[in-house]
Structure 1
């Protein structure tokens, strides 16, 4: 068993404040912290993704369809989708 915290988690290869909280051959859990107003560049990637808001709110756009998520809400975005 390995306990992972934000302090000891591996940083993602990105300019975002992201940490890999867990991973297997088929899945990854990444904790991303964004400051108010901070944005991440739109991109497409082949992996499915779940986005879960722990605190605050986040505007996510998937194939030009915006969704406002608030605390304790989650959204699934299928792989291959612009996000």
Structure 2
């Protein structure tokens, strides 16, 4: 068993938002993204399936030409190679746990 404190994790370098890897293995990676009001993760595609779990706040999950409003405790599955992004359009912090599933 290992206790991981979020504040002790290093921010992922080279990105314009607060993202921190919580856990990584051969089959899965957990990243917590914390977006301040107005911040966003630009649309991009990745070669693995992804699950987004909203752990705090509300915002927008963008899929190609479709925006989906999400709230705390909502979860969305994203197929690999589907363009997606995140946007905090609220006045509060928007935290999303990103679960990357590697084949």
Same fold at TM > 0.5: yes
Q: Is the 8 A contact 2:17 2:39 kept in 1?
A: no
Whether contact under 8 Å (2:50, 2:78) holds in the other structure is yes
Partner in structure 2 of residue 78 of structure 1: 79
- Which structure is higher in RCO with an 8 Å CA cutoff and minimum separation 6? 2
Unaligned runs of 5+ in 2: 85-103
Which segments of structure 1 move beyond 3 Å, counting only runs of 4 or more?
none
> Unaligned stretches of 5+ in structure 1?
none
Distance 1:9 1:53 in 2: 19
Paired position in structure 1 for 2:46 = 45
TM-score scaled by length of structure 1: 0.88
- Contact kept, 8 Å, 2:63 with 2:82, in 1: the verdict is yes
Q: What residue number does 2:2 align with?
A: 2
Per-residue deviation at 1:45?
0.9
Correspondence list, 1:1-83, <5 A: 1-13=1-13, 14-83=15-84
Aligned residues: 83
